A = this chain, B = another copy of it.
């Protein structure tokens, strides 16, 4: 027990009770946490070795008390208290939607999402996992997409270190008995990510499977979700990705989906039911989108559908779903055989800029062939590509903007003049133009007449920023370097 927990930190209490039966399915344990101004009900979970736990992420400072309830008398009516203290300086709370299209931490700090993807990194050898954390520490990424279950797919044929379920004496997985050692390992990784300031976008189901985890049946899916959500929701850096490529859970013999859209809806409801904090929730497609407009989806989590237009659709999807657009998978930088995994660093960087300037959020991944099949996209390890440095540069640009970007296509009157350049704005105080693969030698700009601006030419590939001398207003031409990947940043000056 901890008698002091910082705001958005993790309170945990354990109770040792012996029980004859399946403690995962037969024992109910809840707790109500009370504060002067609020009460929150949470679900406890069994953590092996006759130990039951309750956890809680307090959202308000001050004194909290709790009382448990259970169908096991020895777990019922347990009480306790703790003091919730001010958060430490790097703790901004959990991430939530801000202003319809964007994200912020619970303390109001903006969160500009720059994700990467290492699907099965927690299933790799320990040294490789350590290397992944080292790499992440120096990377520009503040979100990682990663799976609970191990992955079976091209380049992913090894057995995982740990399995998420216990095996029966006959050696088959017992889907009613989560492996608590596995979950403790997962939690350790979530916490290490948290210390690096990285959100864990946890993928609860995925179809690339040879162990049966993708096809446990509705009831076992539900009990797995209840256990996982009840156990992990208390980590402030959790996002729920209900599934990766939800549309590929198919019996390929008959073409019948193994999980229907109704099933996915119900699974979302289970997350809503067992997550007291309502962390961000989405689901990721292969081909057809799940309807991101459904009220339980907090944001889009998109794999590009068109091999040519990817992040260029960001503004279309913003307007369609009226939610934040996260394009987690716009293809990966690399050189493998598959078209989703062999774009250049230049193209990955271009897609990031196209999406970010349109007011969306992009996800990175890397798939360079490797003699030992260690590909960042699934295994972690080290990064080999050229895009991460440029993504760091872009993240710096965005961090220095006065606020989240709105695509100029949303501003009827300006859209026509800017049909051939991507432009994101913050009111009339900030304009970020991105020319992508175009290489103009000059450009005509139209700014408000009654305001004054400074103008900088940004080489997004060479990562340079050059201020053009002068103060600008109204209509004017600016010479540009006749190269690809140029941006222009125009910022209001007040003097």
**Chain A residues engaging chain B, CB cutoff 8 angstroms:** 306-309, 312, 335-340, 342-344, 347, 369, 419-421, 437-444, 477, 482, 484
Contact = CB atoms under 8 A, between A and B. Distances in A.
B443 A337 contact: yes
Nearest to A440: B342
Contact of A342 (B336, B347, B438): B438
A420 B338 contact: yes
B438 A343 contact: yes
A336 B335 CA distance: 34
Contact of A309 (B308, B340, B419): B308
Contacts of A342: 438-441
A369 B337 contact: no
A276 B276 CA distance: 79
B437 A337 contact: no
24 contacts: A307-B312, A308-B308, A308-B309, A308-B312, A309-B309, A335-B440, A336-B440, A336-B441, A337-B440, A337-B442, A337-B443, A337-B444, A337-B477, A339-B419, A339-B420, A339-B421, A339-B438, A340-B420, A342-B439, A342-B440, A342-B441, A343-B439, A344-B484, A347-B437
Contacts of A309: 306, 308-309
Contact of A441 (B312, B337, B343, B438): B337
By DSSP majority rule, is chain A's interface helix, strand, loop, or mixed?
loop
A245 to B, nearest CB: 14
Given A339-B421, A343-B438, A347-B437, 17 more contacts: A307-B312, A308-B308, A308-B309, A335-B440, A335-B441, A336-B441, A337-B440, A337-B441, A339-B419, A339-B420, A339-B438, A340-B420, A342-B440, A343-B437, A344-B439, A369-B441, A369-B442
Nearest to A438: B342
B482 A335 contact: yes
A163 to B, nearest CB: 31
A92 B420 CA distance: 41
A178 to B, nearest CB: 37
Contacts of A312: 307-308
Nearest to A340: B420
A142 B342 CA distance: 35
A344 B437 contact: yes
Contacts of A477: 337
A294 to B, nearest CB: 28
A335 B344 CA distance: 23
Contacts of A443: 337
A443 B339 CA distance: 10
Contacts of A482: 335
A339 B433 CA distance: 13
Closest 5 CB pairs of A and B: A339-B420, A335-B441, A335-B482, A342-B440, A308-B312
Contact of A307 (B307, B336, B338, B420): B420
Contacts of A369: 441-442
Contacts of A337: 440-444, 477
Instruction: Output the residue of A369, A439, A442 with the most chain B CB within 10 A.
Output: A439
Nearest to A287: B419
A444 B336 CA distance: 11
Contacts of A444: 337
A343 B443 CA distance: 14
A63 B346 CA distance: 65
Contacts of A338: 420, 440
